[in-house]
Amino acid sequence: MTARPENAHQARILRLLRTDGPRSRAELGDVVALSRSKIALELDRLAALGLVRSDGFAASRGGRRSEIVRLAANLRFLGVDIGATSVDVAVTNGELEVLGHLSRPADVRDGPTAVLDQVLEMVAKLRADGVVGEVHGAGIGVPGPVSLRDGTPIAPPIMPGWDRYPVREAMSQELGCPVLVNNDVNMMALGELHAGLARSAEDFLLVKIGTGIGCGIIVRGEIYSGVSGSAGDIGHIRVDDHGPVCACGNSGCLEAYFGGAALARDALAAARSGRSPFLAERLAEKGALTAEDVGAAAAAGDAHAVGMVREGGRKVGTVLAGLVNFFNPGLVVISGGVAGLGHALLAEIRSVVYQRSLPLATGNLPIVLSDLGGTAGVIGAARMVSDHVFSA
Ligand SMILES: [Zn+2]
């Protein structure tokens, strides 16, 4: 049974130690606004619960030196990031530093049993490596809409077989710890908030451009999920009434133009028609094309591929300009596999947003590429479940 804080003060102390690292008793007392005797009482209780430990003494502020407190060394969270084409599993300590991280190719269309079995195998591998002992909580991100109340995917367009599958219940039983499930894009946004470029941002947007396109919304340091959990599903905003048919069944969605599958489709057409010599050569070599090939072609200066990236960037930028007008974020982080298309894409998105959004909204609005690589989703998933475990 995972130990939990007994009251709101203890929960606040645990979250502070998680996010800011070790602190002296005096500093904690200042931040939590508790008297010296009250903070000592709460810290003693947390130590008795096995959640915090002593870590030496701080330099004197005049008078007695204050004891340094940090989270218990054996706290472990699992962060699981189930993508359309890969599974990542990481184990972190209480401060959410990654102690071990495995990434394997996987097809989410194989269904929940196969994919979750693979997750459990990866956890077992991390256990065998000695980085996981007792697990205090696991967060799981999946590439589709999730009912937060039930911990189940709901009619996810790219996850056949997962509709209403009890992911939270099944994994909680297997792992023997609290489990929370959420959309993968929300997890990436939390990862950026904890460890990425959004560390000092309270209100920001994380736009993921991968197999699908989605947006994580952070308001006052927390995920905004909407009433039923589907906030930020920008991939299905219509950008053209007569556009290509989308996986969701509608037509002209942003994702149907610039998601990973759409790019692969357009790359194939460009290769076959001879419009892109680079992609034609790739296709002859490999027999198939992906969004990464478009990135490689653009990087190599293939004019048609550069055009594809620019056109996609313009469409993303158009949708994002509307979001910026509506939400007035302090930062926009662009992430995901297709974001690997890099600075050409970023330049196009920036130019459209700065041109089309209101000056007051863009006056001080950085639009940046994530620097967390593949770890944002797992760190965010661990952060989500740590918020739950570190609550009264
Ligand atoms: Zn759609």
Q: What is the mean pLDDT of residues 58-82?
A: 87
Instruction: Sheet with 77-82: list strands edge to edge.
Output: 98-105, 86-92, 77-82, 137-142, 179-183
CA dihedral 352, 353, 355, 357 (to 10 degrees): 140
The predicted pLDDT at position 1 comes to 55
Distance 152 CA to ligand 1 centre (A): 21
Distance 366 CA to ligand 1 centre (A): 28
Distance 235 CA to ligand 1 centre (A): 6
H or E, element range at 391 = none
Other beta carbons within 10 Å of 79: 32
Distance 214 CA to ligand 1 centre (A): 11
The predicted pLDDT at position 127 comes to 95
Distance 110 CA to ligand 1 centre (A): 21
Say whether pLDDT at 243 is over 60. Answer: yes
Distance 251 CA to ligand 1 centre (A): 6
Among 18-22, 129-133, 338-342, 354-358, which stretch is predicted with the lowest mean pLDDT?
Answer: 338-342
Sign for the CA dihedral angle at 50, 52, 58, 60 comes to negative
Distance 127 CA to ligand 1 centre (A): 40
The predicted pLDDT at position 61 comes to 66
The predicted pLDDT at position 339 comes to 60
Distance 18 CA to ligand 1 centre (A): 38
Distance 213 CA to ligand 1 centre (A): 10
Distance 388 CA to ligand 1 centre (A): 32
pLDDT tens digits for 80-94?
Answer: 999 988 999 999 999
Query: What band does 210 get if pLDDT is binned at 50, 70 and 90?
Result: confident
The predicted pLDDT at position 391 comes to 95
Query: What band does 66 get if pLDDT is binned at 50, 70 and 90?
Result: confident
More confident of the two residues 333 and 259: 333
Distance 86 CA to ligand 1 centre (A): 22
Asked whether the beta carbons of 143 and 106 are under 8 A apart, the reply is no
Q: Which residues contact 380 (CB under 8 A, 6 or more apart)?
A: 79, 139, 141, 186, 187, 188, 189, 190, 191, 192, 193, 194
Look up residue 245 and give its amino acid.
Answer: V
Distance 259 CA to ligand 1 centre (A): 10
- For the chain, the average pLDDT equals 92
Distance 83 CA to ligand 1 centre (A): 18
Distance 114 CA to ligand 1 centre (A): 26
Q: What is the mean pLDDT of residues 172-201?
A: 95
Distance 108 CA to ligand 1 centre (A): 18
The predicted pLDDT at position 363 comes to 87
The predicted pLDDT at position 381 comes to 98
Distance 256 CA to ligand 1 centre (A): 7
The Cα 251–Cα 243 span in angstroms is 6
Q: Which residues contact 9 (CB under 8 A, 6 or more apart)?
A: 32, 34, 38, 42
Q: What is the mean pLDDT of residues 332-349?
A: 83
pLDDT tens digits for 260-288?
Answer: 889 999 999 999 999 999 999 999 999 99
At residue 326's C-alpha, the angle toward residues 320 and 327, to 5°, is 85
The Cα 321–Cα 318 span in angstroms is 5
Query: What band does 160 get if pLDDT is binned at 50, 70 and 90?
Result: very high
Distance 230 CA to ligand 1 centre (A): 13
Asked whether the beta carbons of 333 and 218 are under 8 A apart, the reply is no
Q: Which of 215, 214, 212 is nearest to 329 (CA)?
A: 215
